[in-house]
Amino acid sequence: MGIFSKIKERFQGEDELSGEEHGEQYLELDSGSQQDREKVTVRSFLIEDFNDVKDILDSLREGKTIALVNVKPLKDKDLIELKRAVNKLKKTTDAIEGDIAGFGDDWIAITPAFAHIYRNKRTEPVQEE
């Protein structure tokens, strides 16, 4: 007697008929619910000037995008514009009840409401100025 037969016997008990004698029985699972669920997009963005924020905001408002934003080009170009762009991203993130955090000096991660960002020593909260 194989190991699977022994396990099956323990779960069925001695009084019940085995599957071969009684006919195989199957449990039908509803797999449609997983296929209907929309996928989340992880998308990187590059901010070279303040106008680049618009594409990021549009993606975030759809609610299915996690944004990874490289702010280095704007940081090297104009710090005042960078602060303005980050403030705009922060306000929209708060409005959609998402999460925003900085990674290192050049990256910002933004998630929709259904996700949050794990924070450790290297993850910095993004502050409005």
pLDDT for 95 equals 95
More confident residue, 15 or 106: 106
Sheet holding 107-111, edge to edge: 41-46, 65-70, 107-111, 99-103, 123-125
pLDDT tens column, 62-99: 999 999 999 999 999 999 999 999 999 999 999 999 99
Domain edges within the chain: 3-32, 38-125
The answer as to CATH 3.30.110.150 being correct for domain 38-125 is yes
1, pLDDT greater than 90 = no
pLDDT tens column, 14-60: 554 444 555 567 666 565 555 556 789 999 999 999 999 999 999 99
Q: How far apart are CA 72 and CA 75, in angstroms?
A: 5
Which one, of 119, 103, 117, lies nearest residue 66 by Cα?
117
